Structure 1
Amino acid sequence: MNTMLNGWDDTIAALATPPGVGAIGVIRVSGPRTFEVVNALFPSKDLQQQPSHTLQVGLMKEGDTVLDEVVLSLFKAPRSYTGEDVIEISCHGSPFLQQQVLQAITRRGVRIAKPGEFTQRAFLNGKMDLAQAESVADLIASNTEASRRTALHHMRGGFSTDLQQLREQLIRFSALIELELDFSQEDVEFADRAQLQQLIAQLQLATQRLLQSFQLGNVIKNGVSVAIIGKPNAGKSTLLNTLLNENRAIVSDIAGTTRDTIEEVLNIDGILFRLIDTAGIREHTQDAIESIGVERSREKMRAADIVLYLFDINDTTPAELQAVRAGLDGEQIKHLLIANKADTDAATLPEPFGQLPGIIPISARQHRHIDRLRAALVAKAVQGNISQESTIVTNARHYEALQKLGESLNEVQRGINDQLPGDLLALDIRQSLHYLGTITGQITNEDQLDFIFSKFCIGK
């Protein structure tokens, strides 16, 4: 095992499946004493003599007491998830049985694993780098196709490969500059400054591209909050019900039916949208409860990632709409203008609205052009295509390190322009390499690792 950290040579165990009653429960054991400990509880066969990557069926016993009939999955080091000897015990799904088996294991000197400790050991044993390890938690937490695909791309090393290419190029030039320092008396130059400048420009572009992807990554990982805003009786609750295909909000011809915000989640093309139906906004109302609802609507509008401004096409003038658009643009709120109650089949707006660009006509009541609205929502959220092959940054820690990398590359660029000597350039390049290393885990410390893996579930 990687010996940069102490206390990682013992054997650990934990329940790897969710707690509760089910068909089976899986207990994972990892460490140097794995086969010795489980062997003592499995009299059917000598597990030490069985080949790796095999399944063994038999009774688990502690003394004369039969604990359960189980299936053991054997993985011998280094061909396992953690890189250590691993046995996964599939027992029946009774929480009582699972605890009996787990207690029998821990009575033989095995300790309960900390959150994320199996994946942490996989990182320490070189089975994956830190960026890949963090993507394991993202994959477990993924709840849409887009988040699953992005996490899987990272876990399989897509992001790490991009970073490694940047790092290797920097290391090559750093080595040449360091070599110049050994021949400083001869005044020789091994590293071509023009090539180095070109490389730095390429690295800056690649870094900027990764930084820009974080906005999309945040959408994929955390979803998009969408506030449905408009005047009373514009059809906001009807639109929410239509998008959800269920009667979630009360619909009435009486203006001001919705007094508080209603929130629901909708998955469109792999993107999670948190829809917020708000109270109708009107400037003057004598109803104290409605006034509170209106203020909450304004708060939701300002906090939302996207605002759907819904208006009744039969009760709104182009001048009013222009004022609304100017207000949203002035506050830099990303929005879509939705003309509701367009109850004809035509996909175009009637005059005089036809002269105003970017308005989507729908009929929430008759479910007309709702697919067009869904497509517009996705386009507004992602602002580009989500490619399975492209690297998208979803982790805030990675984003922060990339920001610092960009700043350090700018320092290298300035150093080249100012014709700094090789020793000072080497320092700036080392700083860039440092920030790259913090992402993949080539440069890290025990406290940082404990913090990262503490956010994992126990058993992973």
Structure 2
Amino acid sequence: MFTNDTIIALSTPPGSGAIGVIRLSGPEAISLTNSVFSGKDLAKQATHTLHFGLIKDGEVVVDEVVVSLFVGPKSYTKEHVVEISCHGSNYIIQQIIGLLIRKGARAAKPGEFTLRAFLNGAFDLSQAEAVADLIASDSKASHEVAMQQMRGGFSNELKDLREQLIHFASMIELELDFAEEDVEFANRDQLRNLVQRINKVLQRLIHSFEVGNVIKNGVPVVIAGKPNVGKSTLLNALLNEERAIVSDIAGTTRDTIEDEININGVVFRFIDTAGIRETADVIEAKGVERSLEKMKQAKLIIYMVDAQEEQGQVLKQLQDLSQQQTPYLFIVNKSELLTTEQKAFYLEHGALLISAKTKQGMEVLENALLEKVNLSHINTSETLVTNIRHVEALKQTQNSLDRVLENIDNPVTSDFLAMDIKQALHYLGEITGTVTTDDLLENIFTKFCIGK
């Protein structure tokens, strides 16, 4: 890891805009900027100050800028950091970046600023990953969860678990030093109680991933039903745009179409599927197969029927649907065509009556979606696991601790106990970055945007 040079990148999105922010970090961030800045001597200025001036390439003025100064270690990366706010012309941005690279800066890699913050001890690995989650958050819930993790909620919980395990690990290591005296420093009953308590915490964290993942990535909702019942029209009505092709010809949708919207702070990822029916058309049959697969993977199914569907067929579809494990909403489209008797029949079977074409009943449907996923009771200030890497490490920790319990109940020598406790500590350390490898860090930080 080369952290002794000075890196540079655009930190605002690429493209023309009112302002572009160029960020430098490293030992020469201030001196390099000073060499092209016409204004106050930046080397003599206090940290966390702003300075107006010119960026000049020799005698040529490139732009009027505002320079933000963060003198290390009082910065995001704990190094000297400079942020140059210039006009958002792509030409100006490239001129300034090119100029500073010629002066000695290096173009930053994806996530390298946050990587340096982690390596310099600004925060641990799980907090660094939460930075990426915070940038990607697109709902109130995902924002709150990311903020809670970035502020160390998850890290503090893991730190407490590790400290308790480390105490017993050290006691068992002490036993190994006095193996010939057959002395027991680590009380086995206390160790068993500790491991059982930790396993309960781990199980809660692992279980929280189901909710955390939904908050982070959105609730996958499949719109399913027979061909031509109005699934694509409903998708368009929910999204308020012509996202899917609508046609009177049955079987128009041959593949899944996905898009998402935010309803009262909860992101729903809607998936329009091919109509479910038996067909000799090879391509349509493949689409039906994908529809059935998506229904199995969904957290919620919106199942649509046409208002004029024969009631016996509707009951058969509901029977098939009830055999699935996935929660569902039963929707009747084109409700304006229903007779009083038909309305009574559908309402008796728990249907929501809508008209996707006229958008009648959309508000009722949205409220039903929110009620069905029931995320309002979730306390986002509690620790929710949102990262699959963390879940896998927690499961590995739990497996190691299960072996500790087995070894306590079937007495083994202290070195076997010590080995399993160390293994549990290793997996917990992988989450916070106490234990890292270059491959792990590269895999995490290359997913960040450049400039962060």
TM-score calculated relative to the size of structure 2: 0.88
What is the distance in 2 between the residues matched to 1:351 and 1:42? 76
Check conservation: 2:12, 2:22, Cα contact below 8 A. Answer: yes
Q: 1:130 deviation in Å?
A: 0.7
Indicate the SS of the match to 2:116: helix
Q: Which of residues 230, 244, 263 in structure 2 aligns to 1:268?
A: 263
Check conservation: 2:9, 2:108, Cα contact below 8 A. Answer: yes
Question: What letter corresponds to residue 136 of structure 2 in structure 1?
Answer: A
Check conservation: 1:173, 1:191, Cα contact below 8 A. Answer: yes
Q: 1:49 deviation in Å?
A: 1.4
1:335 aligns with 328
1:128 aligns with 123
Q: CA RMSD for the aligned pairs?
A: 2.9
Asked if residue 309 in structure 1 is aligned to residue 303 in structure 2, the reply is yes
Q: Which of residues 347, 361, 380 in structure 1 aligns to 2:352?
A: 361
1:404 aligns with 396
Q: What is the total number of aligned residue pairs between the two structures?
A: 445
| Percent pairwise identity | 49
Change beyond 3 A, Cα 1:454–1:231: closer
Indicate the SS of the match to 1:315: coil
* Bigger Cα displacement from structure 2, 82-91 vs 12-21: 12-21
Q: 1:324 deviation in Å?
A: 2.8
Deviations 1:182-203 (A, max 9, x none): 3334433332222221111111
What is the distance in 2 between the residues matched to 1:243 and 1:352? 22
1:41 aligns with 36
Question: What letter corresponds to residue 350 of structure 1 in structure 2?
Answer: A
1:197 aligns with 192
1:146 aligns with 141
Change beyond 3 A, Cα 1:192–1:112: same
Change beyond 3 A, Cα 1:247–1:90: closer
Question: What letter corresponds to residue 121 of structure 1 in structure 2?
Answer: R
Q: 1:232 deviation in Å?
A: 4.1
Change beyond 3 A, Cα 1:384–1:178: farther
Deviating runs (4+, > 6 A) in structure 1? none
Q: 1:281 deviation in Å?
A: 3.4
Q: Which of residues 406, 419, 426 in structure 2 aligns to 1:427?
A: 419
What is the distance in 1 between the residues matched to 2:143 and 2:391? 19
Change beyond 3 A, Cα 1:447–1:276: closer
1:52 aligns with 47
1:213 aligns with 208
Check conservation: 1:411, 1:428, Cα contact below 8 A. Answer: yes
Change beyond 3 A, Cα 1:115–1:185: same
1:324 aligns with 317
Aligned counterparts, 1:93-242, within 5 A:
93-242=88-237
What is the distance in 1 between the residues matched to 2:380 and 2:219? 20
1:85 aligns with 80
* Bigger Cα displacement from structure 2, 430-439 vs 166-175: 166-175
Question: What letter corresponds to residue 445 of structure 1 in structure 2?
Answer: T
1:15 aligns with 10
Change beyond 3 A, Cα 1:406–1:345: farther
Q: 1:250 deviation in Å?
A: 6.4
Deviations 1:151-205 (A, max 9, x none): 2221111111121121111112222222233333443333222222111111111
Question: What letter corresponds to residue 320 of structure 2 in structure 1?
Answer: G
Change beyond 3 A, Cα 1:61–1:171: same
Deviations 1:221-267 (A, max 9, x none): 32233222223453434433443345655667x57274445543222
Change beyond 3 A, Cα 1:173–1:81: same
1:26 aligns with 21
Change beyond 3 A, Cα 1:352–1:79: closer
What is the distance in 2 between the residues matched to 1:454 and 1:335? 38
What is the distance in 1 between the residues matched to 2:432 and 2:374? 26
Check conservation: 1:238, 1:364, Cα contact below 8 A. Answer: no
What is the distance in 1 between the residues matched to 2:109 and 2:231? 47
Check conservation: 1:13, 1:110, Cα contact below 8 A. Answer: yes
Deviations 1:404-427 (A, max 9, x none): 111111111111111223222111
Indicate the SS of the match to 1:176: helix
Q: 1:56 deviation in Å?
A: 0.9
Q: 1:105 deviation in Å?
A: 1.4
Question: What letter corresponds to residue 324 of structure 1 in structure 2?
Answer: Q
Q: 1:85 deviation in Å?
A: 0.7
Asked if residue 299 in structure 1 is aligned to residue 290 in structure 2, the reply is yes
2:365 aligns with 373
Q: 1:432 deviation in Å?
A: 0.3
Check conservation: 2:224, 2:291, Cα contact below 8 A. Answer: no
What is the distance in 2 between the residues matched to 1:93 and 1:209? 47
What is the distance in 2 between the residues matched to 1:44 and 1:259? 62
Change beyond 3 A, Cα 1:101–1:411: same
Check conservation: 1:360, 1:373, Cα contact below 8 A. Answer: no
Indicate the SS of the match to 1:234: coil
Deviations 1:86-130 (A, max 9, x none): 111111112222222222211222211111111000000000111
Q: 1:383 deviation in Å?
A: 6.8
What is the distance in 1 between the residues matched to 2:406 and 2:171? 19
2:64 aligns with 69
What is the distance in 2 between the residues matched to 1:448 and 1:232? 46
Check conservation: 2:231, 2:272, Cα contact below 8 A. Answer: yes
